[in-house]
Amino acid sequence: MDTFSGCGLCLPNLTHLSPCHFGDHRPPLCVEIKPKCGFLPFSRHVTKECKRKVCRFCMHQHFKLANGKWNRLSRYCPLDLFSGSKQRMYVAIKHLLEEPQNNLKIFKGGELIYCCKDDAKQQPDLNELVQHLWPYFHHSNSLYNGHQSSKAVFNEFIQVICSALLSSGDSNRSGEPRKVQLAESRPLCEASPLHRELLRNGEHVGSHGLPKDCVLAKILQVQMLDNLDIEGVYPLYKRVEQYLEEFPKERNRLQIDGPYDESFLEKVKTCPSEDDGSIEYAVGKVLQYRVAMTAKDCSIMITFAPCGEDEKLQPNLEIQPPKPRFTYSVSILDLDPKPYDSILHQYKLDSKIVNYYLRSTNSAQDLPTSNLYKDRQDCTLLFHAV
């Protein structure tokens, strides 16, 4: 916080709902998800084929593990969350609950109750989370301490999150939400555990698409302003740098550092689709990339609270899983524009992540495989008497 700044912002507490939505004594729950990039690059500028098959998040996990950022690989894959498939979204959120890292936080009545521990070696306590969630989903099973009870609570909790993420006010005449296909790349990330399980079982997940006006579709649409990938943007960044060295006074006119107003938005929206060699094209693509990077690093806040028995709500503000009823709100935050100077850092980081992923996966493939479990992809433990 800049204590010398002459102004500040008063922002709403997104972990709460407005007072008119409290028809129940139970405090609201709030789930914060940082979804990350939801598509695979399809740019002709991509030089490493693995980037077209494995998402940035899954590759970055290996790099972070090696550098000590995390002690365990997350099984979460953003492509599953952005798929529009309820099966894949369920798996994605389940993996976030198992290993939240800095991609998931849960609040109850405005208080943080579940997140990655300060000690990265210590895993968060799912049993403690069940105790917090139990009053909201107690109908699921009468056996509170039973395994099936905890599973049922998590099942309905995840269903509520999925419903909020897919909720849309835009429906066609049949009442079904209109779907939109935004991704032009592979529907599955090859590093996703779900992808490997489907291959092992010989199953196939079709392309579902997202409801047109749901929060995930809006975020993904902005993310895909990055249609060149950092490998395509970096040469344009260098073109802009060279131009600014010759004409430093143009920096303000080109809005390299803002202001982020209607004029800035117009430059982002009207950038030519083909490179005509102009500085305007280069600046437009750099601005688009920065906006896309902001969307790739934003967070979603889903806040919901139980409805009263007789409480009537607008249909688009209500989630109705099998039994409990919730009123909810969905917000997007962490929308600070990514700085112009971050492009050089992103270019270097991208190369490090991809090269480390290739080395680590190739090393794993080169390890000798015992004939005891050669025909199976999952490991079998064999115990012998000593």
- Chain segment 71-91, per-residue pLDDT in tens: 889 999 999 999 999 999 999
Cis status of the peptide bond prior to 259, with omega within 30 of 0: yes
Residue 9's pLDDT band, with cuts at 50, 70 and 90, is confident
- Backbone CA torsion sign across 163, 314, 316, 27: negative
Residue 101 has a CB neighbour count (10 Å cut-off) of 18
Cβ partners under 8 Å of residue 139, min gap 6: 323, 324
- Backbone CA torsion sign across 251, 257, 263, 267: positive
Bridge partners (DSSP) listed for residue 304:
29, 328
Cβ atoms 264, 258 nearer than 8 A: yes
Q: Give the max Cα distance, the chain.
A: 79
Mode of pairing for the β-strands spanning 326-333 and 210-211: unpaired
Predicted local confidence at residue 247, as pLDDT: 97
Cβ partners under 8 Å of residue 128, min gap 6: 113, 114
Full DSSP string of 283-300: HHHHHHHHHHHHHHT-EE
* Mean pLDDT, the chain, integer: 83
Average pLDDT over residues 320-329: 70
User: For residue 380, what are the CA distances in angstroms to 374, 375, 376, 383?
Assistant: 10, 11, 8, 10
Predicted local confidence at residue 321, as pLDDT: 47
Predicted local confidence at residue 198, as pLDDT: 72
Whether residue 20 has pLDDT greater than 60: no
Q: Which of 41, 11, 23 is nearest to 350 (CA)?
A: 41
Average pLDDT over residues 130-142: 76
Average pLDDT over residues 256-280: 93
Reduced to 3 states (helix: H, G, I; strand: E, B; else coil), residue 180 is strand
Whether residue 173 has pLDDT greater than 80: no
